Structure 1
Amino acid sequence: MTSKIEIKLKDAQNIPPDFYHSDDLAHVIRSDEEAIVIAETLAHEFAKEASKRDHERRLPLQEVQRYSASGLWGINVPREFGGAGVSYKTLAEVVKIISSVDSSLGQIAQNHWAFVEHIRLDAQPEQQAFFFEQVLQGKRFGNAFSEKGSKNVAELTTRIDFEADHALINGQKFFATGALLAHWVPVVAVNDGKPYAALVPQHTPGLTIINDWSGFGQRTTVSGSVLLDNVKVDLKYVVPIHQAFERPTVAGAISQFIQSAVDAGIARGAIQETIDYVRQHARPWIDSGLEQAVQDPYTIANIGEIKIKLRAAEAVLDLAAVAIDKALQEPTEETVSQATLLTAESKVLTTEIALLAANKLFELSGTRSTLSELNLDRHWRNARTHTLHDPVRWKLNLVGNYYLNGVALPRHAWS
C-alpha cells in the first residue's frame, strides 16, 4: 500500500517508483579523513548543476541518492554500532563543503543528522541497534517537526495517542525538509504535553506529503507539508525525545550547530563566487585609473574583510564542535551549557557572514552580476531564507544574559 503523495511543482515532476528501493547498500565510512575526502568529491559533482536545480526548482533526486549512498549520512552513528562516530568538527566540515556548492542539499541532511543524535540520546538499545543499522545501510530520515499555525515554534498541535500495541498520529506539519525524499519520516507529536518522535515509514497509509514549499530561497529542500490522518505506528518506532531536554544533553545545541554549519557553507560559496566573478568579469571603476578590477584597493580590502570574518565564524564553530564532543562524553550542566553557549555564538557569526558575503557578491561584482541567467542571487536568497530558522537577535540577548547575569541558555532545539 502507498500513501497519496501530491507533488505541487511547476513542471509536475514525478518520483520514480524505485527511488526509495535499492539493493545497493551504502558505503560505510570509517574515519574523519575519509568523510572529508568523500564530501569534497561529491561537492565537485553537485556543483555542476546546482544553479540549474535552483532555477528550475528541480528535486535533487539523483544527488540525494548519491549523497546518502556515499556513507556521509551515517558518519555520526557511534562506533559501537558500526559507524565512524566522527567528531563534530568533521561533521561541520562535511556540511560546509556540501552547502558551499548547494545549500539545499546541505539542509536536506541537516535534520537527519540531528535525529541520529536523538536516537543515541533517547532511544532504547534495541531501537538504537535497528535504526543505526538502517542509517548505515543508506536509509534517510526526513523531518516533520514544525508547524506554521501554532502560537510559537514549540507549541505543537499534532497528537500521538497510545494504544496497546501501536500509536495513532493526527495533525499537520510544515517546513518538513526532506520528508518527501526520506525512507523514514520522524514526526514530532505530543501526548500529555510531552513530545515524542514517531518514525513513520514512507508510504504508510494516512501519511500525505505535499511539496508546497514556495520559499524564494532553499528552493529544492522539499520543505513542504506533511498531513497525518490516523497514521498507525508500531510502538517500537516511537522515541520519547522529551527526555533529551529533561536532563543535560546537547540535543538542542547539535540541531543549532548543524544549521550554523549550513550558513557557514553558504558564506563560503558566496565568497568563492565573488572572487571568481571579480577575477573573470568585473570591470575597474572609471575613477580608479586601473586596468583590472582585481587591482581595486577597495575591492581587495572587502575581500579581505569577508575572508577574515568567515575564518572567525568558522573558528567559533570549531570551538562549539569541541564543546559538543566533550558534552557528549561528559554530559553535565556545565559542559552542556558551554556547548550551547558556543553554538549560539557561532550561529550569530555564521548568520552575519552569510548575509554579508551574499551582499558583497553583487557590490563587488557590479550590475551585470544581477542578470537572471547567472542566478547569482541564489546565494543571497539561500542565506536570507536559511538564517531565518531562529532569530539571531535572541541569540545576542541570551549570550549577553549569560555573561552579565550568569543565566544559562535555555535547552531546546532553537537555542
Structure 2
Amino acid sequence: MTLAPTPARPVVPDDVPQGVPGPARPSAPAHVIRDDAEAIAVAERLAADFVTGASRRDAERIWPVEQLDAFSQSGLWSINVPKAFGGPEVSYATLAKVIEIISAADPSIGQIAQNHLGVVAAIRTVSDEAQQRLLFAEALKGTRFGNAFSEYHSKRAAEFETTFTDDGDHVRVNGRKFYSSGAILAHLVPIVALDDEGRAWYAIAERDAPGLTVIDDWSAFGQKTTLSGTVILDQVRVPKTHLVPGYKGYDRPTADGAIFQIIQVAVDVGIAAAAVAETIDFVRGKSRAWVDSGVERASDDPYTIQAVGDLTIRLHAAQALQERAGHAIDRAVADPTAESVAAAQLATAEAKALSTEIAIAATNKLFELAGARSTLAEHNLDRHWRNARTHTLHDPVRWKYAIVGNHALNGVNPPLHAWS
C-alpha cells in the first residue's frame, strides 16, 4: 500500500456551526439474532414501537435516540455477520424485509442502518481474517458504524477528494464529507478516503476522534432524522487495523454494490407500504363519499376501490422483486462470478425501479383518495411524500432502466460500484 503525500488541512470557515458529540458505547452486549424468523419477529416488535411518535419526530426533527439504541441492541445490526464469526448470516431477502418493516414505521431509522450493514458486507468481501474478526466483534456487541462517504462538491458521486497519509501504525485522514447518514449517533465512522493511487479505502475512525467533527446541518424536507450532516476531517488518526480496502469490492465482481442498493430498495418499499396503509385507514375512517358516488362511505366508492387495488398490486410486485433480488444477492455472495453478480445487480435494479415508482405513486395518491382534509397539518401525512421524494433521489432510477435495458439488448453487465 502506498500513501498520498500530506495534504493541506481543510479550510473551515469561521461561521461553521459547532460539531455535536458522539454517543457513549453500549453498556451491555447486543443480542445476537438466531435465524431469519427471529430477525423478522424482532423487526416487527420494534416497528410497533417506532411508529409511535414517528410523525412528531419528523415534524419537530427529534433525533430517534432511544429508538436507535433499541434497534442496534436488538441484534438487527449484525444480521449479515457471517456464521463463522458468530453472526446469524441471514438471507439478504430477510435483511431487506427487516429494513422494509422498520422503514414502514419510520424510514429515517431504516435508512440509518443502511451504511452500517453495507460496510459489514464489505468487510466480509475485502478484509483479511484478522480484520474481519476484529470488526465483526464490534458489530456483534452493538457498535454502530456511521458513514462519511459522499462529498458535496465533487463532480460525480464516486469521486472523492478526501485522502489519508501514513503515520506509523496509524493513518491520518483529511477532507470534508456530506450526506453522512447515521454519523451523528454512530460509535465508529467509516470514512471513504483515497491513497495516492486513487484507490478508495474505509478508514474507520472513533466517532469522537480528535479532528473528526460532525455538524448537525441536514436540512432536507424529507428523511429529516437520518442523523446526517457535514463531517470535517482534520488530521484524524485511524489505526491501520481499521483501514479496510474497500476498493477491492469493485475491482472484481462482488455483490457489494447490490447489497448497498437493496437496502435502499427496502426503505422505499417501507415508505410505500406505510402510505398505502395510511390511505386505507384514512378513507375508512375520515374521508367523505363524493357527492355523485351514490354511496354512503368513501370506502365504497368504486373509483377509490380500483385505485387502492392498483396501489396494492404494485406494492406487492415491488415486495416480490425485492425478495427475488435478495435471493440473487445470496447466490452472488456464496459464489461471486461475473454471471452471479450481474444477476444480483440486475434483479436489484429492477426492484429499485419499481420501489421508486410505488413509493412516489402511493405517497401522492394518498391525498387524492383521502381527500382535502388529509392535507391538514394535524395529520402530517405529507411526511410520507417528503420522505419518498427525498430518499428516491439517492441515485437516479433512470439509470436502473438503462442498465437493465443495456443488458437485455446488448448483453452488457452493470458497472461495478456502490450505486449498481
Q: Which band: TM-score by shorter chain?
A: over 0.9
Partner of 1:85: 89
Deviation of 1:163 after TM superposition, in Å, equals 3.3
**Paired residue type of 2:242:** Y
Partner of 1:49: 53
Partner of 1:122: 126
2:146 to 117, 142, 146: 142
Q: For 1:93 and 1:337, how far apart are their aligned partners in 2?
A: 22
1:161 to 162, 165, 187: 165
Q: What does 1:29-108 correspond to in 2, within 5 Å?
A: 29-108=33-112
Q: For 2:100 and 2:171, how far apart are their aligned partners in 1?
A: 38
1:173 and 2:177 equivalent? Answer: yes
Deviation readout 1:229-268 (Å, 9 max, x if unpaired): 0111111110010001111101011101110011001100
Q: What does 1:301-320 correspond to in 2, within 5 Å?
A: 301-320=306-325
Q: For 1:217 and 1:135, how far apart are their aligned partners in 2?
A: 28
Partner of 2:361: 356
Q: For 1:325 and 1:238, how far apart are their aligned partners in 2?
A: 26
1:254 and 2:254 equivalent? Answer: no
**Paired residue type of 1:82:** G
1:223 and 2:211 equivalent? Answer: no
SS at the partner of 1:48? coil
Q: For 1:203 and 1:195, how far apart are their aligned partners in 2?
A: 23
1:389 and 2:386 equivalent? Answer: no
**Paired residue type of 2:334:** Q
Q: For 2:137 and 2:268, how far apart are their aligned partners in 1?
A: 30
Q: For 2:37 and 2:256, how far apart are their aligned partners in 1?
A: 25
Partner of 1:240: 245
Partner of 1:187: 191
Partner of 1:284: 289
Deviation readout 1:57-83 (Å, 9 max, x if unpaired): 001111100110111111111111111
Deviation of 1:166 after TM superposition, in Å, equals 1.4
Gapped runs of 5+ residues in structure 1?
Answer: 1-7
**Paired residue type of 2:198:** G
Deviation of 1:162 after TM superposition, in Å, equals 2.4
**Paired residue type of 2:42:** I
Partner of 2:5: none
1:322 and 2:327 equivalent? Answer: yes
Q: 1:198 to 1:14 in 2, by over 3 A?
A: closer
Q: For 1:252 and 1:266, how far apart are their aligned partners in 2?
A: 22
SS at the partner of 2:291? coil
Q: For 1:130 and 1:14, how far apart are their aligned partners in 2?
A: 27
**Paired residue type of 2:46:** L
Deviation readout 1:22-49 (Å, 9 max, x if unpaired): 3211111111111111100000000110
**Paired residue type of 2:287:** A
Q: 1:50 to 1:307 in 2, by over 3 A?
A: same
SS at the partner of 2:176? strand
**Paired residue type of 1:383:** A
**Paired residue type of 1:249:** T
Q: For 2:363 and 2:336, how far apart are their aligned partners in 1?
A: 37
**TM, length-normalised to structure 2:** 0.94
User: Are the equivalent residues in 1 in contact too, given 2:299–2:305 (CA < 8 A)?
Assistant: yes
1:24 and 2:46 equivalent? Answer: no
Deviation of 1:124 after TM superposition, in Å, equals 1.6
Q: For 1:248 and 1:136, how far apart are their aligned partners in 2?
A: 27
User: Are the equivalent residues in 1 in contact too, given 2:19–2:214 (CA < 8 A)?
Assistant: no
Q: For 2:153 and 2:412, how far apart are their aligned partners in 1?
A: 31
Could you say what the CA RMSD is over the residues aligned between the two structures, in angstroms? 1.4
Gapped runs of 5+ residues in structure 2?
Answer: 1-15
**Paired residue type of 2:32:** V
Q: What does 1:338-377 correspond to in 2, within 5 Å?
A: 338-377=343-382
Partner of 1:405: 410
**Paired residue type of 1:267:** A
1:151 and 2:155 equivalent? Answer: yes
Deviation of 1:316 after TM superposition, in Å, equals 1.1
SS at the partner of 2:51? helix
**Paired residue type of 1:87:** S
Deviation of 1:56 after TM superposition, in Å, equals 0.5
Q: For 2:19 and 2:69, how far apart are their aligned partners in 1?
A: 17
SS at the partner of 2:226? coil
Deviation of 1:374 after TM superposition, in Å, equals 0.9
- Equivalent pairs counted in the alignment come to 404
Identity %: 54
**TM, length-normalised to structure 1:** 0.95
Q: For 1:245 and 1:320, how far apart are their aligned partners in 2?
A: 19
Deviation of 1:14 after TM superposition, in Å, equals 7.6
Deviation readout 1:341-381 (Å, 9 max, x if unpaired): 11011100000000000011101000110111211000000
SS at the partner of 1:362? helix
| TM superposition outliers: structure 1 runs of 4+ over 2 Å | 12-15
